[in-house]
């Protein structure tokens, strides 16, 4: 009596070309938007604090003014700022927000153009292994 057992094993793996570059470009563009989004929020907060006449000697207000001053320095005096008592509308800060948004958009597009790769073909690799076991009495 002879008993033939055949065992077949099939393994299929898929590799998508360019996936690592797409992940990198996605993360890099998200980082650009995060950093510029934080900057835009701080500038908007500064505009709001100036608009309500916040006390510049307050530690948090002084911190926000100090951080944003570094980024608003090139725009100082570009446009006049209307004032009413202690209330100030910094139009130059609004202009700076527009410029920084355009810079963020240009950086994001540049990263996308340099590093993004469209989806390629999915390459499937199939391995088949057959083993034979013969049992004889």
Percent of all residues in the chain with a pLDDT value above 90, rounded to a whole number: 50
Q: Of the spans 12-26, 33-47, 105-119, which averages the highest pLDDT?
A: 33-47
Q: What digits encode the pLDDT tens for the residues 56-86?
A: 999 999 999 999 999 999 998 888 888 888 8
Taking the C-alpha atoms of residue 91 and residue 115, their distance in angstroms, rounded to an integer, is 36
pLDDT over 80 at 18, yes or no: no
pLDDT over 60 at 133, yes or no: no
Rg (alpha carbons) of the chain, rounded to whole number: 31
For the chain, give the mean pLDDT.
83
Q: What are the residue boundaries of the structural domains of the chain, listed by start?
A: 3-135
- Which residues are registered as beta bridge partners of 126? 12
- Its sign, for the CA torsion 96, 97, 102, 103, is positive
Taking the C-alpha atoms of residue 45 and residue 62, their distance in angstroms, rounded to an integer, is 12
Nearest to 68, CA basis, from 30, 34, 94: 94
Task: Give this prediction's pTM.
Answer: 0.71
Confidence (pLDDT) at 74: 92
DSSP H or E segment with residue 110: helix 91-115
């Amino acid at each position: 009596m002879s008993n033939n057992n055949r065992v077949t094993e099939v393994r299929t793996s898929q590799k998508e070309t360019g996936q690592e570059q797409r992940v990198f470009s996605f993360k890099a563009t998200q980082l650009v938007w995060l950093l510029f989004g934080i900057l835009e929020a701080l500038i908007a907060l500064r505009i709001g604090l100036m608009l309500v006449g916040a006390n510049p000697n307050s530690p948090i207000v002084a911190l926000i003014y100090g951080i944003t001053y570094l980024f608003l320095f090139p725009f100082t005096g570009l446009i006049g700022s209307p004032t009413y008592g202690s209330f100030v509308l910094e139009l130059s800060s609004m202009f700076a927000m527009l410029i920084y948004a355009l810079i963020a958009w240009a950086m994001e597009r540049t990263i996308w153009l340099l590093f993004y790769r469209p989806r390629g073909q999915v390459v499937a690799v199939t391995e088949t292994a057959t083993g034979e076991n013969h049992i004889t009495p």
